[in-house]
Structure 1
Amino acid sequence: METTITLQDLLTTIRKRWFLVLSCTVIASAAAAIISYYVLTPIYQAETQILVNQKSSNIEQYQWAQNNETDLRLINTYNVIIKSPVILSKVIEKLELDKTPDSLAEQITVSSANNSQVVNIIVMDKQASKAVKISNTLADVFKKEIPILMNVDNIEILSVANQIDNPKPVKPNKLLNIISATVGGLMLGIILAFLLEFLDKRFKSAQEIEEISNLPIIGFVGVIDLEKENKSMKSRRVRRN
């Protein structure tokens, strides 16, 4: 026999097991709030921008275009060099960081837009002040080392990272975590409610009996209160005696 679930059945199941759905939602929200505010470590971000550009004056138009195209090709190379041990080891030494070049590289993101000569250096750290120092020091070290490594001098620091009074962490996103956990808890509660309803094989109405047996219902048996019936029988016996 094919079973059809209607919207009314869905709403009835949720209403019947509302406490389970509500409990899952509240527990998930509370757990996400506790973890976001008291367990996860805040991560701060600092960003420095450098400009890749040839230093030349009184050059013709075609020479400028050629130099510009060369700079754009070099940007991908620079992105790799910035996170290389030869640069990061000097940053670690200068700031006296208790890190290895590999661990420091995991905190650094280097990016540049298409056909842009601006390179963005983003550093993330548990301390906002340290993120600012690493970002600015990395740009300074790279600017000093790149003429030695590639025999070019086309790097200018466009903007530096600044320390603000009340920095806001970029991770974790507490509100997003709580909303996601609330939605997840709600969905989990609804799934568990339908699962329990599906596993419950007891007849819940006369209509279900008619659908399964294909026989009409001709009567109902009322609920007999045995305790009340026993008292009534004892009362009749006393009267007889």
Structure 2
Amino acid sequence: MEDSLNVERFLSVLKRNIASIITSMLLVGILAALVTYFVMTPKYEAETQMLVSSPGDSVVVDFENIETNLQLIHTYRDIMLSKTILEDVITNLDLDMTVQELSRQITVTNQDQSQVLSITVVDESAERAVEISNEVAVVFQERIVEIMYVDNISIYAPASVGPDMLPVSPQPLMNIVLGLVAGLVLGMALAFSRAYFDKSVKNEGDVQKVLGLPVVGSIAKIED
């Protein structure tokens, strides 16, 4: 019985405040759209892929060399994001940023058991993202010979600017949906907060609940 009354109260609060809840949802959704389109700066992503191959010209698959290369990939990732490599990239491209700032824009990954290293760069400029991604690959390919005395790195797929290169962030649809959901939650929270703190008596049921006495009669409001 008590659960039934709680559900009825819940639905009653929603019904009384449905207009304010919808208004809150729309306002926050519109705010999210405005921030997305007019405040947030679009960012583009470029990817250069490098292949860690076995030394020599043999076309025979050497599984021992492949396993060695897979183990080296973790070391290669650390070197690629090192100060030595990134300082050269900044100098070569005349970038107005620090090593730490550039490092935050770069992600180096590889799939499990794959000899392909992916250099992903996110930047506000599509052209600069492509330049940085390719330059990191070129500098690393040159410097790894000096650092580790190995020459088994090749640029497999350089990044390029294409007509279909769209911003990876912000995501307007996702932001607007999140704004609508946030507005809905905010509107419901305000509605239930008002209902919880509202101690005024509005009907016979409120009188009975406050006084603990049965209602034996009521006087209708007389219109002028």
What TM-score does the superposition give when structure 1 sets the normalisation length? Answer: 0.86
Matched, 1:156 2:154: yes
Partner of 1:18: 18
After superposition, the C-alpha distances for 1:135-191 in whole angstroms (9 at most, x for unaligned) are 111111111111111000010111111111253110111110110010011011011
Q: CA 1:113/1:58 → structure 2, altered by over 3 Å: closer, same or farther?
A: closer
Q: CA deviation at 1:4?
A: 6.9
1:208 aligned to which of 206, 209, 218? 206
Indicate the residue corresponding to 1:90 in structure 2: 88
- Unaligned 5+ segments in structure 2 are none
Secondary structure at 1:223 match in 2: coil
User: Does residue 170 of the first structure (1) align with residue 168 of the second (2)?
Assistant: yes
Distance change >3 Å, CA 157–CA 60, structure 1 → 2: closer
SS of 2:22's partner is: helix
Partner of 1:56: 56
1:216-231 equivalences in 2 (<5 Å) = 216-223=214-221
2:6 is matched with 6
2:122 alignment partner AA = M
Kept after mapping to 2: 8 A contact 1:44/1:169: yes
Deviation track 1:70-96 (CA, whole Å, cap 9, x = no partner) reads: 111110000011111111111111111
Q: 1:95 to 1:13 in 2, by over 3 A?
A: same
* Contact map agreement 1:54 1:68 (CA 8 A) in 2: yes
Residue in 1 that maps onto 2:30 = 30
Helix, strand or coil: the match of 1:172?
coil
Equivalent position of 1:110 in the other structure: 108
1:195 equivalenced with 2:189 (yes/no) = no
Q: Report SS of the residue matched to 1:37.
A: helix
Equivalent residue number for residue 233 of structure 1: none
Aligned position for 1:179: 177
TM-score (norm 2): 0.92
CA contact (8 A) 1:112 1:118 kept: yes
Q: Deviations over 1:27-58 (max 9, x none)?
A: 11111001000001101000011011122245
Contact 1:54 1:153 in 2 (8 A): no
Aligned residues: 223
Secondary structure, aligned partner of 1:215:
coil
Paired residue for 1:123?
121
In structure 2, the residue matched to 1:77 is: 75
Write the distance in 2 (CA, Å) between the matches of 1:69 and 1:5: 67
Contact 1:45 1:128 in 2 (8 A): yes
For the structure 1 residues 70 and 8, does the alpha-carbon distance in structure 2 shift closer, same or farther, using more than 3 Å as the test? Answer: same
Correspondence for 1:137: 135
Distance 1:201 1:129, change over 3 A: same
2:42 corresponds in structure 1 to: 42
- Separation of aligned partners in 2, 1:5 and 1:187: 23
Taking structure 1 as reference, are residues 59 and 215 closer, same or farther at Cα in structure 2, changes over 3 Å only?
closer
Aligned equivalents of 1:120, 1:58: Cα separation in 2:
25
Q: Cα gap change, 1:124/1:211 in structure 2, threshold over 3 Å: closer, same or farther? A: same
The aligned residue for residue 63 of structure 2 is: 65
C-alpha distance in 2 between matches for 1:121 and 1:29? 35
